[in-house]
Amino acid sequence: MPLHLERVEWMPSPPLVPDLEPLDLAHLARMTLGDAGLEREVLALFVAQADSLMAILAALPDDAAALAHTLKGSARAIGAFGVADAVVELEAALRRGDDAALALLTLGCAVDAAREAIGVRLART
């Protein structure tokens, strides 16, 4: 049976790693029902909570997994999915009993990126 080949026009491939913003603004708007005042409030609360939890997590206390889990829920609620993903990695390292220093560093970078995006967002509103 003959093979029928057709020429397919070139098209760009999607990026191997998606370009993720530190804060999903569409998700945030849905979660705050478009209320700018509520948005400002939850973003400020997240920054305060993240700062507090990261300071405690730096020592990797016995309840680090529970504290990280709290941060993950808060991050998902505001659309800081990079923070939530980094927490998943930290939780996995803690569960396996691995050295969690790298996962904690990655989480710190994600929190910093989210904090910066939140600062920009709060300055605009």
What are the residue boundaries of the structural domains of the chain, listed by start? 25-123
Query: What fold does the segment set 25-123 form as a domain?
Result: Four Helix Bundle (Hemerythrin (Met), subunit A) (1.20.120)
User: Cα separation of 29 and 20, whole Å?
Assistant: 17
43, 122 contact by CB (below 8 A)? yes
- pTM of the model as a whole: 0.83
Q: For each of the chain's 125 residues, which pLDDT tens digit applies? A: 677 666 667 656 555 545 579 999 999 999 999 999 999 999 999 999 999 999 999 999 999 999 999 999 999 999 999 999 999 999 999 999 999 999 999 999 999 999 999 999 999 87
